[in-house]
């Protein structure tokens, strides 16, 4: 059960309808969206990115200047750190995702590391703070949305200042004109509507870094481990046709190829298993070739569906040995719920 506050968030933010798992690249309008405050209106002609703080040469870059730099395009799976929150009992009220807060886009931008090299980080720099143009109040603190990365993470060769999504300029809701892309991390790190990058000597204490996105055991537990890289997860395209309200699936008996995608920000997905009995027994799915090191990996499984009622599940395991648990691990913020998906399916005789 959710209340009006959570419903207001569910009505604003967008999940990816799970049938879109059929596509390796998610169309921009169907990619998940979590927007803390309002979508800013940005004039690209006057927008600039300011790079400052503890640097030898502060920079101020226009969109044209960023676009003139070397470009790379990388398919990256983004998932909200709160995906699955509504399935964790007694979490703090927030966006009530079930399992649909995910998407994979081809992000085009210029690598961040050479820009930081040009600015020249002082030896004392501990973190880079990325600040967006979106402003609001959370937990009674008024702030611009901002997140930090440790220097080594920020210098990663695949961290991009992205200005295109799927070959087109970023849409307003995905951070126009420029957002950060940090492959492998949950969505909160990929700061949208970027306006400043600031080098600092300490750990960033902003609300979105220190006050949330942590595995909290109780309210204001600021000592919990920070939420960073995505845990392994996999999702099936729900087979057959849906019931409008319950979303239970209906199909006729026979051979069905189940398809889905799995991902992990910890290490590549190396194995996906499928169950038709709610996880009591598992069988190996066949993996498709990878799309890239940071994108979900397709899988398929030939299922001989006999008449009856089923609970389909899938479970990804990554190269670091992490796998998905049968039930969510509780935490106050409702983060990182990578419990296995469960789909009710009713198979009728032909």
Q: What is the DSSP string of 40-93?
A: ----TTT-EEEEEESBSS-EEEEHHHHHTS--EEEEEEEE-TTTTGGGSTTPPS
Q: Which of 69, 229, 250, 271 binds a copy of itself (CB under 8 A)?
A: 250
Cis before residue 271, ω within 30 degrees of 0?
no
What is the DSSP code (8-state) at residue 17?
Answer: P
The site string for a copy of itself over 93-132 (x = CB under 8 A, - otherwise) reads xx-xxx-x--------------------------------
Query: Considering beta carbons, is residue 253 or 267 the nearer one to a copy of itself?
Result: 253
| Rounded CA separation 152/249 (Å) | 46
Query: Considering beta carbons, is residue 97 or 186 the nearer one to a copy of itself?
Result: 97
* Residue 316 · residue 262 · CB < 8 Å: yes
**According to the binding rule CB under 8 A, does residue 173 interact with a copy of itself?**
yes
Query: Considering beta carbons, is residue 97 or 303 the nearer one to a copy of itself?
Result: 97
Min. distance of Cβ 219 from a copy of itself in angstroms?
A: 13
Cis before residue 177, ω within 30 degrees of 0?
yes
* Residue 212 · residue 91 · CB < 8 Å: no
Would you tell me how many other CB atoms lie within 10 Å of the CB of residue 56? 9
The site string for a copy of itself over 51-90 (x = CB under 8 A, - otherwise) reads -----------------------------------x----
Would you tell me how many other CB atoms lie within 10 Å of the CB of residue 156? 16
Kindly determine how many residues on this chain lie close enough to bind a copy of itself according to the rule CB under 8 A.
52
The site string for a copy of itself over 27-56 (x = CB under 8 A, - otherwise) reads xxxx----xxxxx-x---------------
Query: Considering beta carbons, is residue 69 or 250 the nearer one to a copy of itself?
Result: 250
**According to the binding rule CB under 8 A, does residue 243 interact with a copy of itself?**
yes
Q: Which residue in 298, 288, 235 sits closest to 25, CA to CA?
A: 298
Q: Name the segment binding a copy of itself (CB under 8 A); options: 116-124, 166-174, 275-283, 296-304.
A: 166-174
Q: Give the CA distances from residue 239 to residues 32, 279, 344, in Å, rounded to whole numbers and listed in that order.
A: 21, 17, 10
**According to the binding rule CB under 8 A, does residue 8 interact with a copy of itself?**
yes
**According to the binding rule CB under 8 A, does residue 247 interact with a copy of itself?**
yes
**According to the binding rule CB under 8 A, does residue 217 interact with a copy of itself?**
no
Q: Name the segment binding a copy of itself (CB under 8 A); options: 2-10, 53-61, 66-74, 225-233.
A: 2-10
3-state DSSP assignment of residue 326:
coil
Residues written for the chain: 350
3-state DSSP assignment of residue 114:
helix
**Contact positions toward a copy of itself, by CB under 8 A?**
1-5, 7-12, 14-15, 17, 19-20, 22, 27-30, 35-39, 41, 86, 93-94, 96-98, 100, 135-139, 142, 171-173, 238, 241-247, 250
């Amino acid at each position: 059960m959710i209340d009006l506050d959570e419903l207001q968030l569910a009505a604003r933010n967008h999940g990816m309808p799970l049938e879109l798992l059929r596509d390796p690249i998610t169309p921009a309008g169907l990619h998940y969206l979590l927007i803390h405050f309002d979508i800013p209106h940005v004039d690209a002609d006057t927008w600039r990115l300011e790079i400052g703080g503890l640097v030898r040469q502060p920079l101020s870059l226009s969109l044209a200047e960023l676009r003139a730099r070397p470009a790379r395009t990388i398919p990256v799976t983004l998932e909200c750190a709160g995906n699955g929150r509504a399935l964790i009992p007694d979490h703090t009220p927030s966006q009530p995702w079930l399992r649909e807060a995910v998407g994979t886009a081809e992000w085009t931008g210029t690598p961040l590391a050479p820009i930081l090299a040009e600015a020249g980080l002082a030896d004392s720099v501990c973190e880079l703070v990325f600040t967006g143009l979106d402003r609001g109040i959370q937990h009674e603190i008024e702030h611009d949305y901002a997140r930090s990365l440790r220097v080594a993470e920020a210098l990663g060769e695949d961290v991009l200042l992205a200005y295109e999504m799927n070959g087109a300029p970023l849409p307003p809701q995905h951070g126009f004109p420029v957002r950060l892309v940090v492959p492998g991390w949950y969505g909160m790190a990929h700061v949208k509507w970027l306006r400043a990058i600031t080098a600092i000597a300490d750990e960033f204490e902003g609300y979105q870094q220190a006050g949330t996105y942590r595995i909290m055991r109780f309210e204001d537990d600021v000592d919990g481990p920070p939420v960073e890289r995505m845990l392994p997860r996999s999702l099936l395209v729900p087979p057959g046709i849906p019931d409008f309200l319950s979303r239970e699936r209906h199909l006729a008996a026979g051979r069905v190829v189940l398809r889905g995608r799995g991902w992990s920000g910890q290490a590549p997905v190396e194995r996906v298993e499928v169950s038709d009995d709610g996880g009591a027994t598992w069988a190996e799915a066949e993996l498709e070739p990878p799309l890239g090191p940071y994108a979900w990996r397709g899988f398929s499984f030939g299922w001989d569906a006999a008449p009856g009622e089923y609970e389909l599940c899938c479970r990804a395991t990554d190269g670091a040995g992490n796998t998905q648990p049968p039930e969510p691990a509780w935490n106050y913020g409702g983060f990182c719920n990578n419990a296995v998906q469960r789909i009710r399916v009713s198979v009728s005789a032909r």
